[in-house]
Chain A
Amino acid sequence: MATRAPRRAKGEVLHDGFLRHAGFRWLKIATLICLLSIASYMLVDVTPHHNGGSWYGYAMGTIGLLLILWLTLLGLRKRAMTRGRWSLKAWTSAHVYLGLSLIVIATLHTGFQLGWNVHTLAYALMMLVILSGMFGITVYATLPAALSNNRAEMTQVQMLDAVRAIDRQLHDAAQPLPHDKAVLVRQSLEQDPFGGSLLNRLSGRYPRCATARAQAALRHWTGDQPDTGNDPLEKIDALLERKQAMLARLRRHLKLKALLEIWLYVHVPATLALLAALTAHIVSVFFYW
């Protein structure tokens, strides 16, 4: 049975990321916009010097404002996935490259006059949004491969289940232990593998890991004893070893996922703050005209 290939727009290739969309069409457009802006900035002689209040400054400011408003609309647009020339992918590609061109447009709008005021606040917030976006692009481009490698074909639920399985075995194996040793194992069991601070999550380093501590303490006891094969401590040691390995994989997974996510916690709120600052910027400029 012949299946019909899904209709594709001209020039669209399957498995074409939003960065390479349509042969870097939006990269080219954005570069052109930047070059035109810089050239006009050089050619237009604004006296006494460039600033946001000259006709050129107003023009750049208007372009910048419209761009920002349009870029913000991605938040709405992304909820409706479509294909073709005006596909979400095309839209995202334009979002990325036009957003980058805003660095040039807005900086030229300022005429390099910055200060401690609401106008520069808007500029700084815009740069923060762009920089966080650039971070996002970078991690989107580099981390998914690492994420996939780390998972080793496991799903998240499977990773969690693996930890649970080890925990159950640990629980059983520790039953014969005297209380002081059982406490160590219990600490490992009772530490939340998803706990820790944001910093732990982003760095993937957990210096207070109870499992590592339990194992270290256990080895302190078992270190000078021969492995007889039926010492429960030996079994627990092996289980803790496995748990550590599993936790390391899980934590690497969490770190990568956090990196993929964290920039949005800056990008989105900073965008809304930017819209507020832009409102204040524009109102204030015309209020005290």
Chain B
Amino acid sequence: MSFLVRQISLTADGREIVRAATLSKPQLSLGRAAENDIHLPDLALEPNHARIEQVDDRTIRVRATGTLGFDLDGRTVLRAEIDPAKGAELRFGGHRITVSRGDDGATILSIRRVDAVSEASEEKEESRVFSLRGLLLGKRLTAWGLALAILIGFLAIPIWSYASRPANDTRNIYRMMGDKSWSSGPLSQAHHALEGRCETCHQKAFVSVRDSACQTCHKNVHDHAPAARIAMARAQPGLGGQFLGHVAAAFGKPPEGACVDCHREHEGAGPMQPAPQAFCTDCHGTLKDRLKDSKLGNAEDFGTSHPQFSALVQTLPGKHPRFSRASLDTKPLDDSGLKFPHDIHLSATGGVAKMARTMKAQYGFGDALACKDCHKPTADGTRFLPVNMERDCQMCHSLAFETIGGTMRTLRHGQPDQVVADLRAYYRSTGPARPVALGGMTRRRPGDYAQGQLYHAWFGAVAARPSRADEAIRAVFSRGGACYDCHTVTAPGTNGQPSWQVLAVHQPMRYMMNGWFDHAAHRTEKCESCHAAPKSHDAKQLLLPGLDSCRTCHGGEKSKADVPSGCAMCHSYHSGEGAPWAPAARSTKKDEADRPKELDRPGLQRVPAKAGTQSSRQNWGPAFVGTRGRLDT
């Protein structure tokens, strides 16, 4: 009945030292306290931790004395019975006790310290514990992980999304996310519906956007000029431009003049911006140097280098008028066929002003006539309607010649034959007013028929009636007559005409056919600040303001003028009849953008518009609103 206790320790060089002691006791105490039979200096143990007793020949019992147990073959227990012959492994704190049976029948307890005294005393690899290794994911792993994730997410998936797209893709744009990350910026407002449908414009991989892609939708775009002429007109680009040209050519980009050269996309949501001045001046700045036969002057910048305006003026009025373009510098005359002195009508003192004052209440005139009293703007306010006799002149220039039962009879304007007929009818159907002296009760004396007597006056008038009509007609059409004041009249017989002829009047609404001017955008200005009407005594004088007048406010695109103005403000590249394209102002609210607004502002009377005008107005409604908004500020 004895225990053989073998304490095994390691030397610094790893050699085992065994100290064996035979304890001939049936029962051993085990613990941290020094008085124990088996003294284990281990802070994990209680001072008196356990007892080991021999139960019989083949069995020993291990009992924990306190509440802390011990491990038996890896399981924590409070007591255990062990057959030393079969062996077992016990663990007390940092110590391991192997139970076995000796040849002499004694129970052998081999004790070995397996844990270091402290965590710090464990074996440490210096380069590891003193670095961040172990605290962070390895650099290499992170690097490859990130790189792979980016290559998959931003390269493989977009390419896959492109390749797997059905030919006729009807998906909603918000559902096409695959290659969204490739977009360098949002598309403009007009192209928003193409967002995510990259292949609409980028039709082939690694092939730059072609004009044909734009022309799928924009079918009716005018060319600016024949391609060969544009090529001739284009200035040699600078060094940088040439370099880019070579690079572009090497990579198969189409030559200059492609749609996308001016219409840049992916430049941000909102309206697309008009092409900057430089795109025009590349050719037009020095156009004369290359296109010798061009009638166009060089235009580099509106503020500093722009040819004088040329107006389309009427050189020959009439039924078949003749027009020619002439620079405003040559002070061209514009013969509309009308006689009209602006100065008399606008004078604040003359008879016209006096008459206007009498008609204040009825027609809303001021103390003198103003431009607006006769000139009415078009519905869009861009320009003015031709002056209309019935609407704009007749309130003063009456053609009335008789009152019948309170109804005024007037000569028909614009129909000379009807005027002649009306006058003849007048003289035929009504007699002259019978003198009072011819009353029935008055005594008549002989000699009344004599020349100069009352009877003669009346009967003479009656007898002369039909021939007096011709006189009246002649008077109306001749100097001092109602027609002659404003119109050029030719007498019967001239040029083989059988009757009186009035020269046809043609009032142009637009003089500058290649530039755009919007009166509505200038409504804060007075008419007279541009048009010298108060000093004009002849209707032939062209009252268009010249370049200098515009330049008081407008300058080049990058100038410090009140209104920096690029070419696109007045000119359209894809030459057409309408206004040059302009973006809607960003501030325009969405719900207002499509409505013409502010037409009822004072100073601009709404005039019933013709259907044609209205529809053309609406084509560029948002643009119109925006332009004005910008200029007004």
Contact = CB atoms under 8 A, between A and B. Distances in A.
Interface of A: 44-45, 47-48, 51-56, 58-59, 113, 115-119, 121, 156-157, 160, 163-164, 167-168, 170-172, 174-179, 182-183, 185-186, 188-195, 197-198, 201, 253-254, 257-258, 261-262, 264-265, 268-273, 275-277, 279-280, 283-289
B130 interface: yes
Contacts of B129: 160, 194
Interface of B: 32-34, 41, 43-44, 46-47, 66, 68, 117-121, 124, 126, 129-132, 135-136, 139, 142-148, 150-151, 154-155, 158-159, 162, 179-186, 198, 202, 205-209, 240-241, 243-244, 247, 251, 253, 264, 267, 273, 275-276, 278-279
A280 B126 contact: no
The secondary-structure label for the interface of chain A is helix
B182 A160 contact: no
B151 A280 contact: yes
A80 B273 CA distance: 54
A265 B132 contact: yes
B184 A276 contact: no
The secondary-structure label for the interface of chain B is loop
Most buried by A among B144, B155, B159, B180: B155
A287 B139 contact: no
Contact of B132 (A195, A261, A268, A271): A261
Most buried by A among B132, B179, B181, B240: B132
B120 A193 contact: yes
16 contacts: A52-B184, A55-B247, A115-B186, A156-B126, A171-B43, A171-B117, A171-B118, A175-B34, A194-B129, A257-B130, A258-B132, A262-B136, A265-B132, A279-B151, A287-B159, A289-B202
B533 to A, nearest CB: 40
A254 B130 contact: yes
Given A48-B273, A186-B44, A283-B155, A288 B182 contact: yes
A280 B155 contact: yes
A170 B241 CA distance: 80
Closest CB pairs A-B (n = 9): A55-B244, A167-B118, A189-B118, A273-B146, A272-B143, A269-B142, A276-B147, A269-B143, A288-B202
A273 B130 contact: no
A284 B158 CA distance: 9
B32 to A, nearest CB: 6
B135 A201 contact: yes
Contact of B240 (A55, A174, A271, A283): A55
Given A174-B43, A175-B41, A192-B119, A156 B146 contact: no
Contact of B247 (A44, A58, A167): A58
Given A48-B276, A121-B154, A189 B43 contact: yes
Contacts of B206: 286-287, 289
Contacts of A194: 124, 129-130
Contacts of A113: 184-185
Contact of B143 (A163, A168, A170, A273): A273
Nearest to B207: A289
Contact of A276 (B34, B146, B205): B146
B184 A45 contact: no
Contact of B124 (A51, A54, A160, A254): A160
